[in-house]
A and B are shown apart, each in its own frame.
Chain A
Amino acid sequence: MSACPPSEQALLIIGIGSPFGDDRIGWEVIEQLQRMTLPSGVQLLSLDRPGVELIERMQGHAQVILIDAVHSEEHPLGTCLELTSGSLRRHDNASTHGFGLAETLRLGQSLNALPPRLQLYGICIRPPQASPDAMLSPTVKAAAAQLARQLALLVHPSGTYTMEPSCSR
Chain B
Amino acid sequence: MTSRRIRIDVPALTRVEGEGSLRLEINDGQLVELGLSIFEPPRYFEKFLEGREAKEVVDIVARICGICPVAYQVSALNALESLSRQTASPWVQRMRRLFYCGEWLQSHALHIHLLALPDFLGFDNAIAMAEQHPDEVKRGLKLQGLGNALIRLFGGRSVHPVGARLGGFHHAPALDEVAELVDRLKAAQQDAGELTRFCAGLPLPDDPQTFICVALHHPDSYAMESGEIRTSTGLSLSADQFEQHFHESHKPDSTALWSDLDGQPYLTGPLARLNINHPQLPDFLQQRISEIGLALPSSNMFHSLIARALEIELVLHEAIQRLEAYDYPEAPYTALPLEPGTGCGMSEAPRGLLWHRYQLDEKGLIKAARIVPPTSQNQARIEADLHRSLTAFGLDHDEEALRLRAEQVIRNYDPCISCATHFLTLEKVES
Residue ranges of A at the interface with B (Cβ–Cβ < 8 Å)? 1, 3, 19, 47-53, 55-57, 96, 98-100, 103, 106-107, 110-113, 132
Which chain A residue has the least Cβ–Cβ distance from B416? A98
Report the Cα distance A3→B155, complex, angstroms.
Answer: 12
Given A98-B16, A98-B417, residue A53 in contact with residue B127 (CB < 8 A): no
Residue pair B127, A99 in contact (C-beta under 8 Å): no
Residue pair B67, A53 in contact (C-beta under 8 Å): no
B117-152 CB mask vs A (1 if < 8 Å, else 0) is 000000000111011001001100110110010001
Report the Cα distance A86→B106, complex, angstroms.
Answer: 28
Q: Specify which chain A residues have a CB less than 8 angstroms from the CB of B418 in the assembled complex.
A: 98-99
Report the Cα distance A61→B416, complex, angstroms.
Answer: 30
Q: Specify which chain B residues have a CB less than 8 angstroms from the CB of A1 in the assembled complex.
A: 156-157
**Interchain CB contact (< 8 A) of B141 among A3, A47, A55:** A55
B153-166 CB mask vs A (1 if < 8 Å, else 0) is 00011111000000
Report the Cα distance A100→B142, complex, angstroms.
Answer: 19
Q: Specify which chain A residues have a CB less than 8 angstroms from the CB of B63 in the assembled complex.
A: 19, 132
Report the Cα distance A55→B141, complex, angstroms.
Answer: 8
Interface size for B (C-beta < 8 A) is 32
A10 to chain B, nearest CB (A): 18
Residue pair B114, A113 in contact (C-beta under 8 Å): no
Q: Is the interface of A mostly helix, strand, loop or mixed?
A: loop
Residue pair B134, A112 in contact (C-beta under 8 Å): yes
**Interchain CB contact (< 8 A) of B67 among A19, A47, A98:** A98
Q: Is the interface of B mostly helix, strand, loop or mixed?
A: helix
Q: Specify which chain B residues have a CB less than 8 angstroms from the CB of A57 in the assembled complex.
A: 145
**Interchain CB contact (< 8 A) of A96 among B16, B130, B141:** B16
Residue pair A56, B66 in contact (C-beta under 8 Å): no
Given A1-B156, A99-B114, residue A52 in contact with residue B17 (CB < 8 A): no
Is B221 at the interface (CB under 8 A from chain A)?
Answer: no
Residue pair B152, A52 in contact (C-beta under 8 Å): no
Residue pair A99, B417 in contact (C-beta under 8 Å): yes
**Interchain CB contact (< 8 A) of A53 among B156, B158, B160:** B158
Report the Cα distance A48→B17, complex, angstroms.
Answer: 16
Q: Specify which chain B residues have a CB less than 8 angstroms from the CB of A55 in the assembled complex.
A: 141
A-B CB pair tally, cutoff 8 Å: 68
Q: Specify which chain A residues have a CB less than 8 angstroms from the CB of B16 in the assembled complex.
A: 96, 98
A-B residue pairs, 3 tightest by C-beta: A110-B130, A56-B145, A98-B418
Which chain A residue has the least Cβ–Cβ distance from B158? A53
Is B3 at the interface (CB under 8 A from chain A)?
Answer: no
Is B420 at the interface (CB under 8 A from chain A)?
Answer: yes
**Interchain CB contact (< 8 A) of A3 among B110, B114, B152:** B152
Residue pair A52, B138 in contact (C-beta under 8 Å): no
Q: Specify which chain A residues have a CB less than 8 angstroms from the CB of B148 in the assembled complex.
A: 53, 56
**Interchain CB contact (< 8 A) of A52 among B114, B134, B156:** B114
Q: Name 14 interchain pairs, CB-CB below 8 A, sorted by A.
A: A3-B152, A48-B159, A49-B159, A51-B110, A53-B145, A55-B141, A56-B145, A98-B416, A98-B417, A99-B417, A110-B127, A110-B134, A113-B138, A113-B141
**Interchain CB contact (< 8 A) of B420 among A56, A99, A132:** A99
Given A50-B159, A103-B127, residue A111 in contact with residue B66 (CB < 8 A): no
Residue ranges of B at the interface with A (Cβ–Cβ < 8 Å)? 16-17, 63, 66-67, 106, 110, 114, 126-128, 130-131, 134, 137-138, 141-142, 144-145, 148, 152, 156-160, 416-418, 420-421
Report the Cα distance A56→B138, complex, angstroms.
Answer: 9
Q: Specify which chain B residues have a CB less than 8 angstroms from the CB of A19 in the assembled complex.
A: 63
Q: Specify which chain B residues have a CB less than 8 angstroms from the CB of A49 in the assembled complex.
A: 66, 159
Report the Cα distance A1→B16, complex, angstroms.
Answer: 22
Q: Specify which chain B residues have a CB less than 8 angstroms from the CB of A3 in the assembled complex.
A: 152
Report the Cα distance A93→B159, complex, angstroms.
Answer: 18
Residue pair A51, B417 in contact (C-beta under 8 Å): yes
Q: Specify which chain B residues have a CB less than 8 angstroms from the CB of A110 in the assembled complex.
A: 127-128, 130-131, 134, 137
Q: Specify which chain B residues have a CB less than 8 angstroms from the CB of A98 in the assembled complex.
A: 16, 66-67, 416-418
Report the Cα distance A57→B127, complex, angstroms.
Answer: 18
Given A1-B157, A48-B157, A53-B158, residue A111 in contact with residue B17 (CB < 8 A): no
Report the Cα distance A55→B143, complex, angstroms.
Answer: 13
A1 to chain B, nearest CB (A): 5
Q: Specify which chain A residues have a CB less than 8 angstroms from the CB of B145 in the assembled complex.
A: 53, 56-57
Given A96-B17, A98-B417, residue A52 in contact with residue B141 (CB < 8 A): yes
Residue pair A99, B67 in contact (C-beta under 8 Å): no
Report the Cα distance A98→B142, complex, angstroms.
Answer: 18
Report the Cα distance A57→B160, complex, angstroms.
Answer: 17
Given A96-B17, A107-B137, A112-B134, residue A56 in contact with residue B421 (CB < 8 A): no
Residue pair A53, B130 in contact (C-beta under 8 Å): no
Which chain B residue has the least Cβ–Cβ distance from A49? B159
**New A-B contacts (20) at CB < 8 Å, excluding given A53-B144, A99-B417, A107-B127:** A1-B157, A49-B159, A51-B110, A52-B110, A52-B141, A56-B141, A56-B144, A56-B145, A56-B148, A57-B145, A96-B17, A98-B417, A99-B114, A99-B421, A103-B421, A106-B127, A110-B130, A110-B137, A111-B141, A132-B63
Which chain A residue has the least Cβ–Cβ distance from B126? A107
Q: Specify which chain A residues have a CB less than 8 angstroms from the CB of B159 in the assembled complex.
A: 47-50
Residue pair A52, B144 in contact (C-beta under 8 Å): yes
Report the Cα distance A107→B126, complex, angstroms.
Answer: 7
B140 to chain A, nearest CB (A): 8
Report the Cα distance A150→B5, complex, angstroms.
Answer: 56
Which chain B residue has the least Cβ–Cβ distance from A133? B63
Most chain B beta-carbon contacts within 10 A, residue among A19, A96, A99, A100: A99
